[in-house]
Amino acid sequence: MKGKPAWDASADGVTGALLDLFEHMPDIFLFAKDLEGRFTKANRIFVEKCGLKREEELLGLTDFDFFPRHHAEKYVRDDKQVIRTGESMINLIELIIHAGKATDWYSTTKVPVRNSAGEIIGLAGYTRDIKQMESGSRHFLEMGEIFDYVMEHYTETIDMAKLASLVCLSISQFERRFKSLFKISPLKYITMVRIHAACQALAETGERISDIALNNGFYDLSHFNRQFKAQMAMSPSSYRKKYAGVKGPPHPWLPAPVK
């Protein structure tokens, strides 16, 4: 069953014109959902991202119809927070590290949609591929050596002074610059890369958890357990039990919106 649209372009010429503008922005994936999480509106590139040709094919379906389960669960949790609190989620930075160790960054904003009585009837949002943004591309070029170095050396101890020297900055300047660009500290980024690799090992191999910890840059098992649970909301052993053999198991995400 299709949900009631969170907006109606035909009811408001200004709204219709604004929606038309989004059709000409190649790096913005625009969408709206009802209270049940069903899509009620999307621009062309979002529809294409879902593997469809027409918006009508998308309406009434949910994230679970198009995205891996762990991604859909994450999107739905964020949706429910916006609807429950009535507060917008602005510039949520989402980091995805692919199996080939390529890094993608997305910026997502979600806002509640209200009717004339002020009642929340759904949400609207957009996601941007930061690499496709002009400013984002400059950021990645600026820090390209950092990403390459971390991917090559995350199993080892990584010296912050070494990273700073790669971009000709002091440690404090580098840490401030990296965080201002990507809304995450260099140390947290390194930890997420390590946990991503550990997730793959837990799901795809029979290695002992203590060995996985040491082989992926964590100095002891207790430290690994703490960091893993903070990122994945479950212990490494629980993760292995739930996702062993699952294609494309969950990987770490940045946990909170950055305003």
For 9-131, CATH number? Answer: 3.30.450.20
Amino acid 107: pLDDT: 83
Residue 129 near residue 148 (C-beta atoms within 8 A): no
Residue 108 near residue 2 (C-beta atoms within 8 A): no
CA distance 197 to 192: 9
Residue-range domain boundaries for the chain: 9-131, 143-243
Q: What is the pLDDT along the chain (259 residues), one digit of tens a residue?
A: 344 444 444 445 546 666 666 666 677 899 999 999 999 999 988 998 889 999 999 999 999 898 877 678 778 989 999 999 999 998 887 776 665 556 677 889 999 999 989 999 999 999 988 777 656 567 677 888 898 899 889 999 999 999 999 999 999 999 999 998 877 899 999 998 899 889 888 988 899 999 999 999 999 999 999 999 988 889 999 999 988 876 666 666 544 333 3
If 0-12 CB within 10 Å is exposed, 13-18 middle and 19+ buried, where does residue 212 land?
buried
For 143-243, CATH number? Answer: 1.10.10.60
Do 9-131 and 143-243 share a fold? Answer: no
DSSP 3-state assignment of 205? coil
